A = this chain, B = another copy of it.
Amino acid sequence: MPDALIKKLEHFVHLSSNDKDVLARAAAERVRKLGAHEHIVAEGEKPKAINLMLDGWACRYKHLEDGRRQIVGFFLPGDLCDLNVFILREIDHSIASIGGVTVAEITRHAFETILDGHARIAQALWWDSLVTIAIQREWTVNLGQRDALERVAHLFCEIFLRLQAAGLTRGKSCHFPVTQTELADATGMSTVHVNRTLQELRNMRLINLTNRMLTIPDLPRLMRTGLFNPNYLHLEREGAHLDANE
Protein backbone atom coordinates (compact mmCIF):
# COMPACT_ATOMS: atom_id res chain seq x y z
CA MET A 1 0.00 0.00 0.00
CA PRO A 2 2.60 2.64 0.89
CA ASP A 3 4.31 2.07 -2.45
CA ALA A 4 4.90 5.72 -3.05
CA LEU A 5 6.66 6.14 0.29
CA ILE A 6 8.86 3.12 -0.28
CA LYS A 7 9.69 4.13 -3.80
CA LYS A 8 10.62 7.59 -2.62
CA LEU A 9 12.75 6.38 0.28
CA GLU A 10 14.64 4.12 -2.09
CA HIS A 11 16.01 7.22 -3.77
CA PHE A 12 18.00 7.49 -0.58
CA VAL A 13 18.70 3.91 0.47
CA HIS A 14 17.65 0.44 -0.67
CA LEU A 15 15.37 -1.13 1.90
CA SER A 16 15.25 -4.81 2.75
CA SER A 17 12.03 -6.70 2.15
CA ASN A 18 11.61 -6.80 5.91
CA ASP A 19 11.92 -3.01 6.04
CA LYS A 20 9.20 -2.75 3.44
CA ASP A 21 6.95 -5.13 5.35
CA VAL A 22 7.34 -3.08 8.48
CA LEU A 23 6.32 0.07 6.64
CA ALA A 24 3.44 -1.67 4.91
CA ARG A 25 2.08 -2.95 8.19
CA ALA A 26 2.36 0.42 9.89
CA ALA A 27 0.54 2.06 7.00
CA ALA A 28 -2.30 -0.46 7.11
CA GLU A 29 -3.18 -0.02 10.79
CA ARG A 30 -5.63 2.78 10.49
CA VAL A 31 -6.61 4.14 7.10
CA ARG A 32 -8.89 7.14 6.64
CA LYS A 33 -10.60 8.38 3.51
CA LEU A 34 -11.46 12.05 3.26
CA GLY A 35 -13.34 14.11 0.71
CA ALA A 36 -12.11 17.28 -0.95
CA HIS A 37 -11.22 20.28 1.18
CA GLU A 38 -11.34 18.54 4.53
CA HIS A 39 -8.97 19.16 7.38
CA ILE A 40 -6.39 16.51 8.06
CA VAL A 41 -4.83 18.64 10.78
CA ALA A 42 -6.22 21.95 12.08
CA GLU A 43 -4.28 24.82 13.60
CA GLY A 44 -4.44 24.83 17.38
CA GLU A 45 -4.97 21.08 17.68
CA LYS A 46 -2.85 18.84 19.79
CA PRO A 47 -0.72 16.50 17.66
CA LYS A 48 -2.35 13.10 17.59
CA ALA A 49 -0.83 10.79 15.02
CA ILE A 50 1.54 10.93 12.12
CA ASN A 51 -0.27 11.05 8.81
CA LEU A 52 1.03 9.28 5.77
CA MET A 53 -0.50 10.23 2.43
CA LEU A 54 -1.48 7.09 0.58
CA ASP A 55 -3.49 8.66 -2.19
CA GLY A 56 -4.48 12.15 -3.29
CA TRP A 57 -2.94 15.52 -2.57
CA ALA A 58 -3.09 17.85 0.40
CA CYS A 59 -1.64 21.20 1.31
CA ARG A 60 -0.23 22.81 4.40
CA TYR A 61 -1.26 26.43 4.87
CA LYS A 62 -1.46 29.30 7.28
CA HIS A 63 -4.03 32.07 7.51
CA LEU A 64 -3.36 35.65 8.48
CA GLU A 65 -5.89 37.31 10.74
CA ASP A 66 -7.38 39.28 7.89
CA GLY A 67 -8.07 36.19 5.85
CA ARG A 68 -5.11 36.08 3.49
CA ARG A 69 -3.90 32.53 3.05
CA GLN A 70 -0.52 31.13 2.14
CA ILE A 71 -0.06 27.52 1.12
CA VAL A 72 3.40 26.64 2.40
CA GLY A 73 3.68 23.17 0.95
CA PHE A 74 1.99 20.35 -0.90
CA PHE A 75 1.67 16.79 0.34
CA LEU A 76 1.85 14.16 -2.36
CA PRO A 77 1.30 10.42 -2.00
CA GLY A 78 4.17 8.99 0.01
CA ASP A 79 4.61 12.14 2.07
CA LEU A 80 4.58 12.10 5.85
CA CYS A 81 3.39 14.98 8.00
CA ASP A 82 5.78 16.12 10.70
CA LEU A 83 7.63 13.20 12.20
CA ASN A 84 8.61 14.60 15.55
CA VAL A 85 5.61 16.71 16.11
CA PHE A 86 4.40 15.04 19.30
CA ILE A 87 6.85 17.17 21.19
CA LEU A 88 4.72 20.23 20.58
CA ARG A 89 1.57 20.98 22.47
CA GLU A 90 -0.18 22.76 19.67
CA ILE A 91 0.02 22.70 15.88
CA ASP A 92 0.66 26.10 14.33
CA HIS A 93 -0.76 25.49 10.87
CA SER A 94 -3.43 23.53 9.04
CA ILE A 95 -3.34 20.70 6.57
CA ALA A 96 -6.25 20.16 4.22
CA SER A 97 -7.01 17.73 1.44
CA ILE A 98 -7.17 19.09 -2.09
CA GLY A 99 -9.23 16.42 -3.80
CA GLY A 100 -10.27 13.21 -2.11
CA VAL A 101 -7.44 11.59 -0.16
CA THR A 102 -6.54 8.38 1.60
CA VAL A 103 -4.40 8.80 4.68
CA ALA A 104 -2.77 6.29 7.02
CA GLU A 105 -2.54 7.31 10.64
CA ILE A 106 0.49 6.01 12.45
CA THR A 107 0.43 6.24 16.21
CA ARG A 108 3.28 7.72 18.12
CA HIS A 109 3.97 4.36 19.66
CA ALA A 110 4.03 2.43 16.39
CA PHE A 111 6.26 5.06 14.96
CA GLU A 112 8.77 5.01 17.78
CA THR A 113 8.91 1.25 17.63
CA ILE A 114 9.93 1.46 13.99
CA LEU A 115 12.58 4.07 14.64
CA ASP A 116 14.07 2.07 17.51
CA GLY A 117 14.07 -1.30 15.80
CA HIS A 118 14.95 -0.43 12.22
CA ALA A 119 17.92 1.84 11.85
CA ARG A 120 17.82 1.89 8.07
CA ILE A 121 14.19 2.99 8.00
CA ALA A 122 14.94 5.56 10.66
CA GLN A 123 17.75 7.00 8.55
CA ALA A 124 15.55 7.05 5.49
CA LEU A 125 12.80 8.87 7.36
CA TRP A 126 15.24 11.45 8.70
CA TRP A 127 16.45 11.93 5.17
CA ASP A 128 12.87 12.50 4.10
CA SER A 129 12.31 15.14 6.73
CA LEU A 130 15.56 16.90 5.87
CA VAL A 131 14.37 17.05 2.29
CA THR A 132 11.04 18.44 3.45
CA ILE A 133 12.88 21.22 5.25
CA ALA A 134 15.04 21.90 2.21
CA ILE A 135 11.87 22.19 0.16
CA GLN A 136 10.53 24.72 2.62
CA ARG A 137 13.69 26.78 2.25
CA GLU A 138 13.41 26.61 -1.50
CA TRP A 139 9.84 27.89 -1.31
CA THR A 140 11.17 30.82 0.65
CA VAL A 141 13.64 31.51 -2.16
CA ASN A 142 10.92 31.04 -4.72
CA LEU A 143 8.64 33.64 -3.18
CA GLY A 144 11.44 36.03 -2.36
CA GLN A 145 13.39 36.10 -5.58
CA ARG A 146 11.60 34.65 -8.56
CA ASP A 147 9.12 36.52 -10.72
CA ALA A 148 5.74 35.08 -11.65
CA LEU A 149 6.84 33.00 -14.63
CA GLU A 150 9.89 31.58 -12.88
CA ARG A 151 7.91 30.92 -9.76
CA VAL A 152 5.22 28.85 -11.40
CA ALA A 153 7.77 27.06 -13.58
CA HIS A 154 9.81 26.21 -10.51
CA LEU A 155 6.81 24.83 -8.70
CA PHE A 156 5.92 22.60 -11.63
CA CYS A 157 9.46 21.26 -11.79
CA GLU A 158 9.53 20.49 -8.10
CA ILE A 159 6.22 18.73 -8.07
CA PHE A 160 6.97 16.75 -11.20
CA LEU A 161 10.26 15.50 -9.81
CA ARG A 162 8.71 14.62 -6.48
CA LEU A 163 5.93 12.71 -8.18
CA GLN A 164 8.46 11.00 -10.40
CA ALA A 165 10.45 9.93 -7.35
CA ALA A 166 7.29 8.40 -5.93
CA GLY A 167 6.56 6.58 -9.19
CA LEU A 168 3.53 8.70 -9.97
CA THR A 169 4.38 10.07 -13.39
CA ARG A 170 3.84 8.54 -16.80
CA GLY A 171 6.45 9.66 -19.23
CA LYS A 172 6.21 13.41 -19.35
CA SER A 173 2.82 13.63 -17.69
CA CYS A 174 1.32 13.53 -14.25
CA HIS A 175 -1.91 14.18 -12.47
CA PHE A 176 -2.20 17.76 -11.23
CA PRO A 177 -5.38 18.39 -9.22
CA VAL A 178 -4.57 21.91 -8.03
CA THR A 179 -6.93 24.75 -8.98
CA GLN A 180 -5.65 28.13 -10.08
CA THR A 181 -6.90 29.61 -6.83
CA GLU A 182 -4.75 27.15 -4.91
CA LEU A 183 -1.79 27.86 -7.17
CA ALA A 184 -2.29 31.51 -6.37
CA ASP A 185 -2.22 30.82 -2.63
CA ALA A 186 0.92 28.75 -3.05
CA THR A 187 2.81 31.26 -5.16
CA GLY A 188 1.63 34.43 -3.45
CA MET A 189 0.05 35.66 -6.67
CA SER A 190 -3.49 36.67 -7.61
CA THR A 191 -5.62 34.13 -9.43
CA VAL A 192 -5.81 36.46 -12.40
CA HIS A 193 -2.08 36.58 -12.71
CA VAL A 194 -1.72 32.84 -12.22
CA ASN A 195 -4.09 32.42 -15.13
CA ARG A 196 -2.05 34.73 -17.34
CA THR A 197 1.19 33.12 -16.31
CA LEU A 198 -0.15 29.68 -17.18
CA GLN A 199 -1.14 30.98 -20.57
CA GLU A 200 2.35 32.32 -21.07
CA LEU A 201 3.87 28.97 -20.13
CA ARG A 202 1.50 27.28 -22.56
CA ASN A 203 2.36 29.70 -25.34
CA MET A 204 6.00 29.01 -24.76
CA ARG A 205 5.24 25.28 -25.13
CA LEU A 206 6.65 24.68 -21.68
CA ILE A 207 3.61 23.03 -20.22
CA ASN A 208 0.34 21.52 -21.15
CA LEU A 209 -2.26 21.65 -18.40
CA THR A 210 -5.79 20.50 -19.07
CA ASN A 211 -8.28 18.41 -17.14
CA ARG A 212 -6.04 18.20 -14.08
CA MET A 213 -3.34 16.63 -16.22
CA LEU A 214 0.06 18.24 -16.52
CA THR A 215 2.46 17.47 -19.36
CA ILE A 216 5.97 18.88 -19.54
CA PRO A 217 7.28 18.37 -23.08
CA ASP A 218 10.80 19.57 -22.32
CA LEU A 219 11.63 19.40 -18.63
CA PRO A 220 15.19 20.73 -18.93
CA ARG A 221 13.86 23.81 -20.63
CA LEU A 222 11.21 24.33 -17.97
CA MET A 223 13.92 23.93 -15.36
CA ARG A 224 16.00 26.63 -17.02
CA THR A 225 12.98 28.91 -17.16
CA GLY A 226 12.35 28.46 -13.44
CA LEU A 227 16.04 28.61 -12.47
CA PHE A 228 15.44 25.20 -11.01
CA ASN A 229 18.31 23.27 -9.47
CA PRO A 230 17.21 19.84 -8.25
CA ASN A 231 20.01 19.45 -5.71
CA TYR A 232 17.78 20.36 -2.77
CA LEU A 233 15.65 17.29 -3.37
CA HIS A 234 18.65 15.06 -2.63
CA LEU A 235 17.46 12.30 -4.92
CA GLU A 236 20.90 10.95 -5.82
CA ARG A 237 20.93 7.98 -3.49
CA GLU A 238 22.88 9.80 -0.82
CA GLY A 239 22.43 6.95 1.62
CA ALA A 240 23.73 4.25 -0.73
CA HIS A 241 26.39 3.20 1.77
CA LEU A 242 23.58 2.04 4.04
CA ASP A 243 21.83 -0.12 1.43
CA ALA A 244 20.34 -3.43 2.43
CA ASN A 245 22.35 -6.15 0.70
CA GLU A 246 19.70 -8.30 -0.87
Q: Which residues of chain A have a CB within 8 Å of any CB of chain B?
A: 60, 62, 64-66, 68-70, 72-73, 82, 84-85, 87-90, 92-93, 123, 126-127, 129-130, 133-134, 136-141, 143-146, 187-188, 227, 229, 231-232, 234, 236, 238-239
Residues of B within 8 A of A229 (CB): 65
B141 engages A62 (CB within 8 Å): yes
Q: Which of B87, B144, B234 contacts A238 (CB 8 A)?
A: B87
- The distance in angstroms between the C-alpha atoms of A142 and B130, with both chains bound, is 22
Whether A239 lies near B87 (C-beta < 8 A) is yes
Q: Are B70's CB and A127's CB within 8 A?
A: no
The reply to whether B136 and A137 form a contact with Cβ atoms under 8 Å apart is yes
12 interchain pairs, CB-CB under 8 A:
A62-B137, A62-B138, A64-B227, A70-B140, A72-B140, A72-B144, A88-B127, A88-B130, A90-B231, A90-B238, A92-B134, A93-B137
Task: Give the Cβ gap from A187 to chain B, nearest Cβ, in Å.
Answer: 7
**A231 adjacent to B123 (CB under 8 Å):** no
Instruction: Give, as a whole number of angstroms, the nearest-CB distance from A34 to chain B.
Output: 22
Q: Complex formed: what's the CA distance from A136 to B129 in Å?
A: 14
- Beyond A130-B88, A144-B187, is A137–B72 a contact (Cβ under 8 Å)? yes
Please indicate the chain B residues that have their CB under 8 angstroms from the CB of A70 in the complex. 140-141, 144-145
Q: Are B143 and A64 within 8 A (Cβ)?
A: no
Residues of B within 8 A of A60 (CB): 137
Given contact pairs A72-B137, A143-B143, A238 touches B88 in the complex (Cβ within 8 A):
yes
Given the complex, which residues of B lie within 8 Å of A141, measured CB to CB? 62, 64, 70, 72
| Cα–Cα distance between A214 and B139 once the two chains are bound (Å) | 29
Given pairs A84-B126, A90-B231, 8 additional interface contacts (CB within 8 A): A64-B141, A70-B144, A87-B130, A88-B130, A92-B231, A136-B137, A140-B140, A143-B144
Which residues of B sit under 8 angstroms from A143, Cβ to Cβ?
140, 143-144, 188
Please tell me if the beta carbons of B138 and A136 are within 8 angstroms of each other in the complex.
no
